[in-house]
Structures are given as C-alpha cells and as structure tokens.
Amino acid sequence: MSHERLNRKSNRNIKLALVANPSHLEAVDPVVQGKTRAEQFYLGDVQGKKVMSILLHGDAAFAGQGVVYETFHLSELPDYSTHGTVHIVVNNQIGFTTDPREARSSPYCTDVARVVNAPIFHVNADDPEAVVHVSKVAAEWRAKFGKDVVIDLVCYRRNGHNEIDEPMFTQPLMYTKIRSTTPAVHKYAKKLIAENVVTEEYVKQLWEKYDNILTEAYKNTEKEVKMYNRDWLDSPWHGFFGTRSEHKCDPTGVDEDTLCHISTKFSTPPPDPFKIHPGLKRILKSRLEMVQNRQLDWALAEALAFGSLLKEGIHVRLSGQDVERGTFSHRHHVLHHQTMDKSTYRPLCHLYPDQAPYTVCNSSLSEYGVLGFELGFSMTNPNALVMWEAQFGDFNNTAQCIIDQFICSGQAKWVRQSGLVLLLPHGMEGMGPEHSSARPERFLQLCAVDSDEFPVIDEYFPLKQLHDINMIVANCSTPANMFHILRRQIALPFRKPLVVFTPKSLLRHPQCKSSFDELLPGTEFRRLIPDETEPITTNPSGVKRIILCTGKVYYELKKERQQRGLDGTVAIVRVEQLCPFPFDLLRDELSKYPDADLLWTQEEHKNQGYWSYVQPLIQSTLRHLNMESKKFNYAGRAVSASPATGNKHIHKKEIEKLFADSFSGL
C-alpha cells in the first residue's frame, strides 16, 4: 500500500510505499531493493535521486538472518544497486525471549553492515534530539555518496513480545528496570519544560491533538464499508488492467522477417575491431547456419523470445548466477573483447534503434537474496519480462522462503500480481544427487489445484485456468514451446509467476530443434503435444499403449521405441504445461486411443518429479471419460531419498529398467 502527499518543505509530492511483508523476518529486504531498483530504472533515475528505500530491522533478525548479508552484498553491484539504503535497526536488545548473548556472536547487532563498510550510528533512542541528528546525517550520507548507512536505535521494549507476552518469565531484572523507567516521550517533555522551550500546557495540547488524530482516523475506518484491491496496491498498473480484456490472450507468433532479423543479428559477430574468442566465432557460425535453415535450438529460442519482446517495447531482464554466458555455455548474451578489458558486446541490445532495453546480469552467488530482488523488480512494471535463472535447478531451495511466502501465495495474500519467471535447469543426466533435480514435486505441491474434479471445459477454459491458478509450472521439450511460453507471459491479460524446468543436454540435442514455422503468426504455446509421428497419426487404432511424459525423457523414449520396433504401437504424449493441467487436451488424447493402456513415465524417482501430482489428475480425466477400468500405471525409478544416484553404472541400470517397464508386454 502507499500514500502520496505534498512535502511542504520541498514543495514536492512524496510517495511512501510499504511493501507487503510476511512473518518471515528480513525476507522482504531484497524484495524492497528489487522494487526500488525497478522504480529507479523505469524513471531513468540512474543515481537514485528520485527513489530510495528505507529498511526497518529488529536487532535479533538483523544479526541472525543470512538474507540481510545477501542484501548488503547486492548494494553496490551494477545491476542491483539502489544507490544507498537507510537501514534502521530497532535495537530493543531482545529477540522474542532471547537476549543478545544468545542471539549473536558479534559485538553489535549491526556488525553485518561492516561487510560493505557502511557507516553505523549507534544512538540512544531515549534521546530524541540525538536520533533526529543521526537521521539527518544518515540521510545526507545516502544523498551524497549513494551508499548504505545504518542507524542502530539502542532502545528497549516496554512490554513483552507482541505486546502481550510476559517478559518477566525470561528477563526479570531487565524488565524490573524497564518498568521503573519513564517513557522517552515523557522524559523529553519534562526536559523541554525545564529548559523553558515549551510550557506544560503546550505539551498537554500536543498530546490531545495527537490523540484526536488517532481517534478520528479510527472512527473513519468504521465508515469504510467497501474494500477495493486497488487501495492495497502501490503501483496499480492502471494502463495495464484498464485496457485489456480478461478473456483474451494476445497472439505469441511472430512474422518471418522479425525472426530472421533477430536471429541473424544474434548470430553475427560484433562489428570490427571487436575481437571475440575463436570458439565463439564457431558457435556464431553454426548458429547462423541454423538460422539459414530456418531452424532454432534453445539458445535461439530464448533470443527470439527476448528479441521480439524488446522490439515490442517490453523490457527484458535476465538475472542469476552466470546467466550472461549461461551455466552450460549455450547462451553467450555478453561477448568479451579478447584483448581489451571491460569491453563487451551484447547482441540483443543492438537489434533495433527503438527497441526496449535488455538487461542481462550475472548476480552474486545468492539465491534467496537475488530471487527476492527479482520478485520485487517484477512487481513494478507489468510490461517487463523479468527472469531469474538458477545455476542448477537444485539451488532454488535456498530461496524457498521467497517461493513459499511470496511467489506461490503473494496474489492470494496481498492481491499483488507478478509475472516473474524462474528458469530451473533440471534433468537426470548421471550427474549425481546434487545437479539433477529442480524438485518439480515441490513446485507442483504448491499449486492450488483440485485434482479430484474434472473441470467444465469451454472456449475460455485454457485462459480461465491460467487466470485462476497461483502459478504456472511447465517443462518445455521444444525450443518453439519455450519461445511461446516466454512470450505468453507478456501476452496474458494478467500476470502469473511461471516456473520452467529447463534442459541441460537438450540444449545441444540434435533432435531438440524447432522450425521457424512453429513460431510464425497463428502458432502458440502447446500445453500438451500429442504424438504426431507416423504411423500413429494415420493409424491410431494400432496404438496399444499411451505413454504420458514430460520433458527430456521424451527423446529417450522415442529413440528406444524405434529401437524396439514399436513406432506404430506406442504413442508418446508430452505434457508441457503441468500446472494448470491441460485436462481438455488430455481428454482428447485419451479418446483417440480407447483400447490402449496408459503409463506415466518419468525419469525422476517415484516419490519425486510429477507422479504424485499427475496421478489423481489423470484419474479424474479417466473418470470423466468413463475409462476408470483402463490399465494405468507408473514406469520409472523406484522411490529414493536422494534425487539421483552418484554411480554411473546404477544410473544406466535405472534407465534400462525405465525402458523395460515402459515397453513391457508389447
């Protein structure tokens, strides 16, 4: 929520926005910073002279929560700086019932701020004039140097935690003292009266005036009989919601000329005399060959999605560890001059003279802080594609608090929309327990889906589903689908967080290519991809088994099917949008092969991946079709405590079993 009013001293309007904050202490810090950065960015406020953030902290949380440290480390990074934040620590020398001797190892609760050499003012909060003085110095510091500054308000908490707890249970000596201490406001009034600065009568009047303001405001709340969502939003996206029909998603296809232009620019080395690495020359050359063949791989799909949005005036921001090159070296969005320091070339910034800005930025090695930051960034402008990529999908769990408290539940709790995209590299490729799984099961468990009910299907169903869901979860198996789902984030008439499990080996898989034809006007994101191979399309009655799957395992199953001579017997159907679930398309698919049995095959272990999520959804669809008696089973790895084995031999054996189970009995 926010409030805007005239500041009589500067004669300027000042808007104060309060960012919605979960119970999780300090979690909001990076969110505030991201939002501040975005406000500055879209206002062209490159020095942070128009927008700034103030972060309020508790002493125990400031010292104890690691996200505070992560947030400080963003403060001076080129694409994350907010040009100085004023931190105010309400240091009441207690955290719930814990006193500082048990709450931290550093002498001061504010010592974490020393990592950026921020000035820290420890001030006696019982001395209001000292507090005002220190606050002025802090504000001047921030204005002059554009760097963080900390005010440590050394004070006490008069009552127990939450005002109702009994502090004498745990801090009897301290609270005996506090109870005999005159409150700061009375102390200060007494001092001013003694110094003849004010009279007793003046103080009394001031008290009454203040009391009346509060009483009146409280009474006014009773007159409010209606609640409007817009009153709770500090950036209500007027131009966005006012102008769009909720029932219409803009097309995501793009014309051939635009595709050719962007992909050629993206595949062309920078103009002379910029010297790029010879390996990159080869990469760009093979990219260009692909473009000439009207084909695209994953890197081109990303570039075409970003580039076409930039052309349409949409700001694109991609942030995360090593995103500029890409963890798997597939992207190369920032090219480095081989003999000149700090000289770089960003092809996607040179597509059109009037394009929107493209931001691609390697982040610090943080997930919690950086994901929170990007979430905050995404809340400011609906006409921006803001993405956070994890180095490997596994690492998203160090940002679990942002996912749980903000991303999956933010709209339900705070009527706040965000179109933030999470790109999570995922896939069982024999890399061992640590780099295999983005934990799809966790994201799917967070989706507000009723798996027992087959929904009413009409022409608005796909969009209505998206409108009603808390977040979209997808696993794209083709570059074209990745292109469309990214563009759809902006084409939608509302904003939803999108979680995409992205590939590793598929980045270079010879079969994981799409044609420009799949991106042209009239094409769109495919929530489910039916089996469109021969002879299945011409002879569906030959199909004895339907394998439903998602992601990379499709390519492996397809190859195995061919080797086993089962091309006409097994239909392999890909669920690309896991949530919301494509009930309508699955219904159509199951109806095509009424006599076939049904399998869900996944490469993830049985207690992980998608099985627990899809099983009841598929069963509801079967019930709807009166096909409850159809054989429907799971094929894949057994349950496991760890996401993957670290033993190559076992990995291979597991895949062999997955194939054996998937094609058994045929």
* 171 lines the binding site for ligand TPP (CB under 6 A): no
Question: Measuring CA to CA, how many Å separate 650 from each of 503, 506, 538, 656?
Answer: 22, 22, 39, 10
Q: How far is the CB of 370 from ligand TPP (least distance, A)?
A: 18
H runs (alpha helix) in 423-471: 440-445, 461-468
Residue 39 or 70 having the CB closest to ligand TPP: 70
Q: By CB under 6 A, which span of 57-65, 185-193, 392-400, 552-560 interacts with ligand TPP?
A: 57-65
* 56 lines the binding site for ligand TPP (CB under 6 A): no
Residue 375 or 528 having the CB closest to ligand TPP: 375
Residue 56 or 463 having the CB closest to ligand TPP: 56
Q: By CB under 6 A, which span of 52-60, 365-373, 442-450, 503-511 interacts with ligand TPP?
A: 52-60
Q: Which of residues 1-40 bind ligand TPP (CB under 6 A)?
A: 23-25
Angle made by CA atoms 130, 136, 141, in degrees to the nearest 5: 125
Beta carbons within 10 angstroms of residue 5's beta carbon: 9
Sign of torsion over alpha carbons 452, 456, 459, 465: negative
- Report whether 26 contacts 372 (CB < 8 A): no
Q: How far is the CB of 95 from ligand TPP (least distance, A)?
A: 3
Q: How far is the CB of 76 from ligand TPP (least distance, A)?
A: 25
Binding ligand TPP (rule: CB under 6 A), the pick from 60, 300, 305, 655 is 60
The C-alpha atoms of residue 294 and residue 286 are separated, in whole angstroms, by 12
Q: Which of residues 348-387 bind ligand TPP (CB under 6 A)?
A: none
Phi, then psi, of 285 in degrees rounded to 5: -65, -45
Q: How far is the CB of 499 from ligand TPP (least distance, A)?
A: 23
Q: How far is the CB of 57 from ligand TPP (least distance, A)?
A: 7
The C-alpha atoms of residue 320 and residue 314 are separated, in whole angstroms, by 20
Residue 38 or 61 having the CB closest to ligand TPP: 61
Residue 94 or 428 having the CB closest to ligand TPP: 94
Residue 25 or 316 having the CB closest to ligand TPP: 25
The C-alpha atoms of residue 378 and residue 39 are separated, in whole angstroms, by 10
Q: By CB under 6 A, which span of 54-62, 181-189, 496-504, 542-550 interacts with ligand TPP?
A: 54-62
The C-alpha atoms of residue 315 and residue 32 are separated, in whole angstroms, by 20
Tokens of 202: 């003046």
Binding ligand TPP (rule: CB under 6 A), the pick from 30, 34, 58, 160 is 58
The C-alpha atoms of residue 30 and residue 294 are separated, in whole angstroms, by 42
Comparing every residue's Cβ against ligand TPP, the nearest one is 58
Q: How far is the CB of 104 from ligand TPP (least distance, A)?
A: 10
SS3 180: coil
* 59 lines the binding site for ligand TPP (CB under 6 A): yes
Q: Identify the burial level of 165 via C-beta atoms within 10 angstroms of its C-beta, where 0-12 means exposed, 13-18 middle and 19 or more buried.
A: middle
Q: How far is the CB of 123 from ligand TPP (least distance, A)?
A: 17
H runs (alpha helix) in 169-293: 172-179, 184-194, 200-223, 238-243, 256-266, 278-292
Total residues at the site for ligand TPP (CB under 6 A)?
12
Residues 6 or more apart in contact with residue 517 via CB below 8 angstroms: 294, 523
Tokens of 520: 């042209």
Residue 23 or 221 having the CB closest to ligand TPP: 23
Q: How far is the CB of 169 from ligand TPP (least distance, A)?
A: 15
The C-alpha atoms of residue 408 and residue 384 are separated, in whole angstroms, by 19
Question: Can you tell me which residue has the tokens 């935690």?
Answer: 161
* 150 lines the binding site for ligand TPP (CB under 6 A): no
Tokens of 207: 């008290």
Residue 61 or 528 having the CB closest to ligand TPP: 61
Residue 91 or 621 having the CB closest to ligand TPP: 91
Residue 93 or 619 having the CB closest to ligand TPP: 93
SS3 323: coil
Residue 23 or 629 having the CB closest to ligand TPP: 23
Residue 25 or 138 having the CB closest to ligand TPP: 25
Q: How far is the CB of 64 from ligand TPP (least distance, A)?
A: 7
Question: Measuring CA to CA, how many Å separate 363 from each of 322, 334, 388?
Answer: 7, 14, 10
State yes or no: cis peptide before 493, omega within 30 of 0. no
Q: How far is the CB of 88 from ligand TPP (least distance, A)?
A: 11
Q: How far is the CB of 409 from ligand TPP (least distance, A)?
A: 16
Residue 368 or 554 having the CB closest to ligand TPP: 368
Q: How far is the CB of 20 from ligand TPP (least distance, A)?
A: 15
Tokens of 542: 């030959």
Residue 60 or 598 having the CB closest to ligand TPP: 60
The C-alpha atoms of residue 157 and residue 178 are separated, in whole angstroms, by 8
The C-alpha atoms of residue 239 and residue 381 are separated, in whole angstroms, by 10
Q: How far is the CB of 25 from ligand TPP (least distance, A)?
A: 4
Beta carbons within 10 angstroms of residue 152's beta carbon: 23
SS3 128: helix
Beta carbons within 10 angstroms of residue 183's beta carbon: 11
* 61 lines the binding site for ligand TPP (CB under 6 A): yes
Residue 38 or 89 having the CB closest to ligand TPP: 89
Q: How far is the CB of 330 from ligand TPP (least distance, A)?
A: 37
Q: How far is the CB of 443 from ligand TPP (least distance, A)?
A: 22
The C-alpha atoms of residue 438 and residue 425 are separated, in whole angstroms, by 7
Q: Which of residues 79-98 bind ligand TPP (CB under 6 A)?
A: 90, 92, 94-96
Pairing of the two strands 344-345 and 358-362: unpaired
Chain positions contacting ligand TPP, by CB under 6 A: 23-25, 58-61, 90, 92, 94-96
